[in-house]
Amino acid sequence: MADHTDQPAAGAGLLSGTLVLDLSRALAGPHAGMMLGDLGARVIKVETPNGGDDSRGWGPPFLGEGEDRESTYFMAANRNKESITLDLKDADDADVLARLVQRADVLIENFRVGVLDRLGFSVERLHELNPGLVICSITGFGHDGPESQRAGYDQIAQGEAGLMSLTGIEEPTKVGVPIADLLAGMNGAFGVLAALLERQQTGRGRVVRTSLIAGIVGVHAFQGTKWTVAGELPGLSGSHHPSIAPYGLFHTATAPIQLSCGSEGLWRKFAPAVGLDPDEPRFATNGERVSHRDELVQVLNDIFATQPAEHWLALLSSAGVPSGKVRNLQEVYEWEQVRSQGLLVEVDHATKGTFSIPGPVIRFDDNPYGGARPDVIAPPVLGQHNASVRAWLDETDPTDA
């Protein structure tokens, strides 16, 4: 792979001056690193020389062809990062990582339990090199317990941690994005920020641990307590809320719409607007409506089938009832509301030119365009910053970094 020698993507923002080493691959760890990069941290992604992050090979779609192609999957989790390639089984490359650790504030890894130890970078060694290092370790099933050695993959975690038992209509269905990975990454970034805050008082780093199954179990919400408290086992909920009605997807003459009657007050606005009696015994209270959900859904679908989606959305809006479209992703990224929130950003890629990618999800009052930094750096080409990172190491003292 060609060694692009671009200057490092220096961070600016709330985490400016914070150095993050991202040793992770695929999605959970990279997502955590990207979130920290969005907040202004300098994130150096450490990849294997032969192919780099696994997700660089995940496709199609790709931009380009052959050895110069770039995976759009990889681009989803690696904005605001630099890329350096290291073979940690090579003594010289392992020394480069050790020098980076001495200068770092955070290290993110999602190896299987014990792999980093075998490579010579156990928690003890990392803290010998840098007592203030915050280590974020993301695993599939947790770092201990009887199944800690299992490899973690998103869809497996969605099934094992119960999410698929709640999702779908006729059979258990995965969520359309790798939600276990994404939640684990978000939880990891959250833990890192707490550990950095603690370090301001103690001067010492600690290990932050989370997992894919923790990410899923942690968002069971009311479905979890339905079982743990009430002893009722939740099942597939399809496109309707299991505890509130009407709340879900309905079919009009042209396209599906969604609506939410999350209170009795909203029901009393909604029912007359669509020609129903709000005091009809089967539907007078939320409990009755949930008990008679199938009947209510059929009644409403028959009503909605008489007019196009636009008619019903306008009517529900005027009645003050929450409702909305079901957009595909083209419609989402063309939606002016999404663009106004900085959720689509334009970047200049080292080899593929200018294109748009999803943007940071947190905005701050001094940056109307999203994120905590004044710009967004394109996902790096493999090894793009090999020369610049090594030059920076030679120029800096670890005690001053």
Name the residues annotated as catalytic.
181
Distances, alpha carbon 254 to alpha carbons 247, 259, 304, in Å: 20, 16, 10
Sheet holding 256-260, edge to edge: 247-251, 256-260, 323-325
Give Cβ neighbours of residue 346 (< 8 Å, ≥ 6 apart).
354, 355, 356
C-beta atoms surrounding 353 within 10 Å: 10
- Structure tokens belonging to residue 342: 């900085």
Task: Judge whether 181 and 154 are in contact, CB under 8 Å.
Answer: yes
Cα–Cα distance between 125 and 131 in angstroms, integer?
10
Q: Where is 368: in which H helix or E strand? A: none
Cα–Cα distance between 360 and 79 in angstroms, integer?
9
Is residue 40 helix, strand or coil? coil
Distances, alpha carbon 281 to alpha carbons 121, 203, 272, 287, 302, in Å: 67, 64, 15, 11, 19
**Angle ∠(379,9,139) on CA atoms, nearest 5:** 55
Distances, alpha carbon 158 to alpha carbons 140, 187, 242, in Å: 11, 16, 19
Query: Among candidates 8, 15, 84, which has minimal Cα distance to 46?
Result: 84
Cα–Cα distance between 120 and 64 in angstroms, integer?
37
- Which residue is listed with tokens 């009795």? 264
Alpha helices for 173-285 (secondary structure H): 179-202, 212-217, 221-228, 264-273
Query: Among candidates 331, 325, 320, 321, which has minimal Cα distance to 309?
Result: 325
- For residue 169, with 0-12 CB atoms within 10 Å meaning exposed, 13-18 middle and 19 or more buried, which class applies? exposed
